[in-house]
Amino acid sequence: MFWLRSCMQDSKRKRLFVHQKQCSQSADPIECFWCLEVKALRRQQQRAILHEAKFVSSGSNEYPTQESLKRQKLLRETLAQSRFHSVVDALYEMEQGGAAPVCEDGKVGGNGACLIPLGDKTLVIVSKTGKYSGRMDIHRDFCLVENFDKESWAAEFYSESSSVRPTSDSPLHYTVLHLQKQLQWMQYPTATLHGHALETAEKAEKADIPCSHEETLFSTPGDSQALVDLMKKYPYPKYKIYIRKNHGFFIAGNSIDETLQVFKDKVLPYSDL
Protein backbone atom coordinates (compact mmCIF):
# COMPACT_ATOMS: atom_id res chain seq x y z
CA MET A 1 0.00 0.00 0.00
CA PHE A 2 1.42 3.34 -0.98
CA TRP A 3 0.92 6.65 0.79
CA LEU A 4 1.84 9.93 -0.82
CA ARG A 5 2.33 13.60 0.08
CA SER A 6 1.58 15.98 -2.75
CA CYS A 7 -0.21 19.27 -3.41
CA MET A 8 -3.41 19.12 -5.43
CA GLN A 9 -3.29 20.62 -8.93
CA ASP A 10 -5.53 23.37 -10.28
CA SER A 11 -6.79 22.10 -13.65
CA LYS A 12 -8.73 25.26 -14.40
CA ARG A 13 -5.59 27.30 -14.02
CA LYS A 14 -3.83 24.89 -16.38
CA ARG A 15 -6.56 25.28 -19.00
CA LEU A 16 -6.31 29.07 -18.81
CA PHE A 17 -2.53 28.91 -19.13
CA VAL A 18 -2.94 26.82 -22.27
CA HIS A 19 -5.30 29.48 -23.61
CA GLN A 20 -2.75 32.16 -22.87
CA LYS A 21 -0.20 30.38 -25.07
CA GLN A 22 -2.70 29.95 -27.91
CA CYS A 23 -4.39 33.32 -27.61
CA SER A 24 -4.68 35.19 -30.92
CA GLN A 25 -7.10 37.93 -29.90
CA SER A 26 -4.36 40.46 -29.31
CA ALA A 27 -0.80 41.23 -30.34
CA ASP A 28 -0.13 41.18 -26.63
CA PRO A 29 -2.05 38.04 -25.53
CA ILE A 30 -1.86 39.00 -21.88
CA GLU A 31 -4.42 41.75 -22.61
CA CYS A 32 -7.27 39.52 -23.80
CA PHE A 33 -10.14 38.71 -21.44
CA TRP A 34 -9.11 35.14 -20.61
CA CYS A 35 -5.48 36.06 -20.12
CA LEU A 36 -6.45 38.81 -17.73
CA GLU A 37 -8.31 36.10 -15.83
CA VAL A 38 -5.09 34.10 -15.77
CA LYS A 39 -3.36 37.02 -14.07
CA ALA A 40 -6.21 37.25 -11.54
CA LEU A 41 -6.01 33.54 -10.84
CA ARG A 42 -2.26 33.83 -10.34
CA ARG A 43 -2.84 36.49 -7.71
CA GLN A 44 -5.51 34.32 -6.07
CA GLN A 45 -3.15 31.37 -6.19
CA GLN A 46 -0.50 33.30 -4.30
CA ARG A 47 -3.05 34.00 -1.57
CA ALA A 48 -4.51 30.48 -1.55
CA ILE A 49 -1.38 28.36 -1.91
CA LEU A 50 -1.17 27.68 1.82
CA HIS A 51 -4.72 26.31 1.79
CA GLU A 52 -4.38 23.85 -1.10
CA ALA A 53 -5.13 20.33 0.04
CA LYS A 54 -2.24 17.95 0.59
CA PHE A 55 -2.14 14.17 0.50
CA VAL A 56 -0.57 13.03 3.75
CA SER A 57 1.52 9.86 3.80
CA SER A 58 2.88 7.44 6.34
CA GLY A 59 4.69 4.19 5.59
CA SER A 60 5.70 2.73 2.23
CA ASN A 61 5.51 -0.32 0.01
CA GLU A 62 9.10 -1.20 0.81
CA TYR A 63 8.48 -1.60 4.53
CA PRO A 64 4.74 -2.27 4.93
CA THR A 65 3.29 -2.19 8.42
CA GLN A 66 0.53 -4.42 9.70
CA GLU A 67 -1.81 -1.44 9.58
CA SER A 68 -0.97 -0.61 5.96
CA LEU A 69 -1.41 -4.26 4.94
CA LYS A 70 -4.78 -4.26 6.70
CA ARG A 71 -5.87 -1.13 4.80
CA GLN A 72 -4.62 -2.59 1.52
CA LYS A 73 -6.74 -5.68 2.08
CA LEU A 74 -9.74 -3.50 2.95
CA LEU A 75 -9.35 -1.44 -0.22
CA ARG A 76 -9.18 -4.54 -2.42
CA GLU A 77 -12.11 -6.24 -0.73
CA THR A 78 -14.22 -3.09 -0.90
CA LEU A 79 -13.55 -2.44 -4.57
CA ALA A 80 -14.35 -6.05 -5.36
CA GLN A 81 -17.96 -5.46 -4.33
CA SER A 82 -20.17 -5.14 -7.39
CA ARG A 83 -21.99 -2.04 -6.09
CA PHE A 84 -18.86 0.04 -6.53
CA HIS A 85 -18.40 -0.95 -10.16
CA SER A 86 -21.22 1.44 -11.04
CA VAL A 87 -18.80 4.31 -10.31
CA VAL A 88 -16.80 3.24 -13.35
CA ASP A 89 -19.94 3.17 -15.50
CA ALA A 90 -21.08 6.60 -14.26
CA LEU A 91 -17.74 8.29 -14.95
CA TYR A 92 -17.58 6.74 -18.41
CA GLU A 93 -21.12 7.89 -19.23
CA MET A 94 -20.23 11.41 -18.08
CA GLU A 95 -17.28 11.39 -20.45
CA GLN A 96 -19.40 10.09 -23.31
CA GLY A 97 -21.98 12.79 -22.54
CA GLY A 98 -19.39 15.55 -22.86
CA ALA A 99 -19.31 16.41 -19.16
CA ALA A 100 -15.73 15.18 -18.69
CA PRO A 101 -13.80 17.03 -21.40
CA VAL A 102 -10.51 15.64 -22.65
CA CYS A 103 -7.57 18.01 -22.07
CA GLU A 104 -4.52 18.40 -24.29
CA ASP A 105 -2.54 15.87 -22.28
CA GLY A 106 -5.22 13.24 -22.89
CA LYS A 107 -6.52 13.36 -19.34
CA VAL A 108 -10.16 14.08 -18.61
CA GLY A 109 -12.10 16.06 -16.01
CA GLY A 110 -14.89 14.67 -13.88
CA ASN A 111 -14.78 12.49 -10.78
CA GLY A 112 -16.94 10.54 -8.38
CA ALA A 113 -17.04 9.25 -4.81
CA CYS A 114 -19.11 7.16 -2.41
CA LEU A 115 -19.26 6.44 1.32
CA ILE A 116 -17.84 3.27 2.86
CA PRO A 117 -19.12 2.56 6.40
CA LEU A 118 -16.46 0.75 8.41
CA GLY A 119 -17.25 0.16 12.08
CA ASP A 120 -17.43 3.56 13.77
CA LYS A 121 -15.74 5.24 10.80
CA THR A 122 -17.03 6.38 7.44
CA LEU A 123 -14.46 6.28 4.67
CA VAL A 124 -14.77 7.66 1.14
CA ILE A 125 -13.75 5.98 -2.09
CA VAL A 126 -12.81 8.54 -4.76
CA SER A 127 -11.58 8.31 -8.32
CA LYS A 128 -7.96 9.18 -8.96
CA THR A 129 -6.56 12.42 -10.31
CA GLY A 130 -5.13 12.61 -13.80
CA LYS A 131 -7.22 9.86 -15.37
CA TYR A 132 -7.11 9.24 -19.09
CA SER A 133 -10.01 8.96 -21.51
CA GLY A 134 -11.85 5.65 -21.45
CA ARG A 135 -13.17 3.29 -18.79
CA MET A 136 -11.35 3.30 -15.48
CA ASP A 137 -10.16 0.22 -13.63
CA ILE A 138 -12.06 -0.20 -10.37
CA HIS A 139 -9.05 -1.85 -8.72
CA ARG A 140 -6.26 0.46 -9.87
CA ASP A 141 -7.86 3.88 -10.41
CA PHE A 142 -9.54 4.57 -7.05
CA CYS A 143 -8.36 5.62 -3.60
CA LEU A 144 -9.68 5.10 -0.10
CA VAL A 145 -9.75 8.40 1.81
CA GLU A 146 -9.80 7.77 5.53
CA ASN A 147 -9.81 11.32 6.77
CA PHE A 148 -9.80 14.92 5.62
CA ASP A 149 -8.60 17.49 8.15
CA LYS A 150 -10.05 20.94 7.47
CA GLU A 151 -7.58 22.61 9.83
CA SER A 152 -4.48 21.40 8.02
CA TRP A 153 -6.42 20.99 4.75
CA ALA A 154 -4.92 17.56 4.24
CA ALA A 155 -6.26 14.12 3.34
CA GLU A 156 -5.12 10.67 4.46
CA PHE A 157 -5.64 8.00 1.83
CA TYR A 158 -4.65 4.55 0.60
CA SER A 159 -4.06 3.45 -2.97
CA GLU A 160 -2.47 0.58 -4.82
CA SER A 161 0.57 2.43 -6.18
CA SER A 162 2.55 5.67 -6.09
CA SER A 163 0.94 6.82 -9.35
CA VAL A 164 -2.59 6.74 -7.92
CA ARG A 165 -3.63 9.85 -5.97
CA PRO A 166 -7.14 11.05 -5.08
CA THR A 167 -8.85 13.53 -7.36
CA SER A 168 -8.06 17.14 -6.55
CA ASP A 169 -11.80 17.60 -5.94
CA SER A 170 -11.61 15.24 -2.94
CA PRO A 171 -12.34 18.09 -0.48
CA LEU A 172 -15.70 18.71 -2.19
CA HIS A 173 -16.66 15.03 -2.16
CA TYR A 174 -15.52 14.42 1.40
CA THR A 175 -17.21 17.57 2.71
CA VAL A 176 -20.59 16.82 1.12
CA LEU A 177 -20.57 13.16 2.11
CA HIS A 178 -20.01 14.15 5.75
CA LEU A 179 -22.31 17.16 5.74
CA GLN A 180 -25.22 15.50 7.54
CA LYS A 181 -23.52 16.01 10.90
CA GLN A 182 -23.27 19.75 10.32
CA LEU A 183 -26.68 20.33 8.75
CA GLN A 184 -28.55 17.58 10.66
CA TRP A 185 -30.33 16.25 7.57
CA MET A 186 -32.83 13.45 8.09
CA GLN A 187 -31.51 11.94 4.87
CA TYR A 188 -28.00 12.31 3.56
CA PRO A 189 -26.17 11.45 0.34
CA THR A 190 -23.87 8.46 0.08
CA ALA A 191 -22.56 9.11 -3.44
CA THR A 192 -21.44 12.11 -5.49
CA LEU A 193 -20.55 12.95 -9.08
CA HIS A 194 -18.78 16.04 -10.38
CA GLY A 195 -18.38 17.10 -13.99
CA HIS A 196 -17.66 20.12 -16.15
CA ALA A 197 -20.85 21.28 -17.83
CA LEU A 198 -23.54 23.93 -17.21
CA GLU A 199 -20.86 25.83 -15.31
CA THR A 200 -22.19 29.35 -15.87
CA ALA A 201 -24.99 31.12 -14.04
CA GLU A 202 -26.84 31.59 -17.35
CA LYS A 203 -26.76 27.86 -18.17
CA ALA A 204 -27.71 26.94 -14.62
CA GLU A 205 -30.74 29.24 -14.79
CA LYS A 206 -31.92 27.70 -18.07
CA ALA A 207 -31.55 24.22 -16.59
CA ASP A 208 -33.26 25.35 -13.35
CA ILE A 209 -30.31 24.27 -11.17
CA PRO A 210 -29.13 26.21 -8.08
CA CYS A 211 -25.85 28.00 -8.79
CA SER A 212 -23.36 29.61 -6.39
CA HIS A 213 -22.50 33.27 -6.82
CA GLU A 214 -18.84 32.93 -5.79
CA GLU A 215 -16.06 31.89 -8.15
CA THR A 216 -13.11 30.40 -6.28
CA LEU A 217 -10.02 28.35 -6.90
CA PHE A 218 -10.97 24.75 -6.42
CA SER A 219 -9.45 22.45 -3.80
CA THR A 220 -9.51 25.38 -1.36
CA PRO A 221 -11.61 26.08 1.75
CA GLY A 222 -13.50 28.77 -0.14
CA ASP A 223 -14.48 26.29 -2.84
CA SER A 224 -15.92 23.80 -0.37
CA GLN A 225 -17.65 26.49 1.69
CA ALA A 226 -19.34 27.93 -1.40
CA LEU A 227 -20.86 24.53 -2.12
CA VAL A 228 -21.88 24.03 1.51
CA ASP A 229 -23.60 27.45 1.54
CA LEU A 230 -25.46 26.51 -1.62
CA MET A 231 -26.61 23.21 -0.13
CA LYS A 232 -27.78 24.98 3.03
CA LYS A 233 -30.02 27.17 0.91
CA TYR A 234 -31.17 24.30 -1.31
CA PRO A 235 -31.10 21.28 1.01
CA TYR A 236 -30.72 17.65 0.03
CA PRO A 237 -32.71 15.53 -0.87
CA LYS A 238 -35.19 18.05 -2.30
CA TYR A 239 -32.27 19.26 -4.40
CA LYS A 240 -29.67 16.85 -5.71
CA ILE A 241 -27.71 18.85 -8.25
CA TYR A 242 -25.83 22.12 -7.83
CA ILE A 243 -23.63 24.32 -10.01
CA ARG A 244 -20.33 25.74 -8.78
CA LYS A 245 -19.91 28.93 -10.78
CA ASN A 246 -17.36 28.48 -13.60
CA HIS A 247 -16.37 25.08 -12.20
CA GLY A 248 -19.12 22.61 -13.04
CA PHE A 249 -21.99 20.58 -11.63
CA PHE A 250 -22.04 18.57 -8.42
CA ILE A 251 -24.59 15.80 -7.91
CA ALA A 252 -25.46 14.12 -4.61
CA GLY A 253 -27.56 10.96 -4.25
CA ASN A 254 -28.22 7.87 -2.18
CA SER A 255 -26.26 5.75 -4.67
CA ILE A 256 -24.04 6.15 -7.70
CA ASP A 257 -26.91 4.85 -9.82
CA GLU A 258 -29.13 7.67 -8.58
CA THR A 259 -26.48 10.33 -9.24
CA LEU A 260 -26.08 8.98 -12.77
CA GLN A 261 -29.83 9.20 -13.31
CA VAL A 262 -29.81 12.82 -12.12
CA PHE A 263 -27.02 13.47 -14.62
CA LYS A 264 -29.13 11.99 -17.41
CA ASP A 265 -32.22 13.94 -16.37
CA LYS A 266 -30.72 17.32 -15.49
CA VAL A 267 -27.44 17.66 -17.37
CA LEU A 268 -27.64 15.77 -20.66
CA PRO A 269 -30.78 17.55 -21.94
CA TYR A 270 -28.99 20.90 -21.54
CA SER A 271 -25.51 19.84 -22.63
CA ASP A 272 -25.75 21.85 -25.85
CA LEU A 273 -26.45 25.15 -24.11
Per-position pLDDT tens, the chain of length 273: 333 333 333 344 444 333 334 444 433 333 333 344 434 434 343 333 334 455 544 334 444 567 667 767 777 777 777 667 889 999 999 999 999 887 777 788 899 999 987 767 788 999 999 888 899 988 889 988 988 988 888 888 888 787 889 998 999 999 999 998 788 888 999 999 999 999 999 999 999 999 999 888 888 899 999 999 999 999 999 999 999 999 999 999 999 999 999 999 999 999 876
In this prediction, residue 83 carries a pLDDT of 67
Count of Cβ atoms closer than 10 Å to residue 164 Cβ: 21
In this prediction, residue 5 carries a pLDDT of 33
In this prediction, residue 64 carries a pLDDT of 58
In this prediction, residue 4 carries a pLDDT of 34
Q: Return the C-alpha torsion angle 205, 208, 214, 217, nearest 10.
A: -100
pTM of the prediction?
Answer: 0.76
Residue 136: alpha-carbon gap to chain centroid: 15
d(CA 15, CA 24): 16
In this prediction, residue 55 carries a pLDDT of 52
Domain ranges across the chain: 85-140+164-270
In this prediction, residue 184 carries a pLDDT of 82
CATH number at 85-140+164-270: 3.40.225.10
Asked if residues 7 and 1 have their Cβ atoms less than 8 Å apart, the reply is no
- Geometric angle at alpha carbon 76, from 4 and 128, rounded to 5°: 45
d(CA 176, CA 224): 9
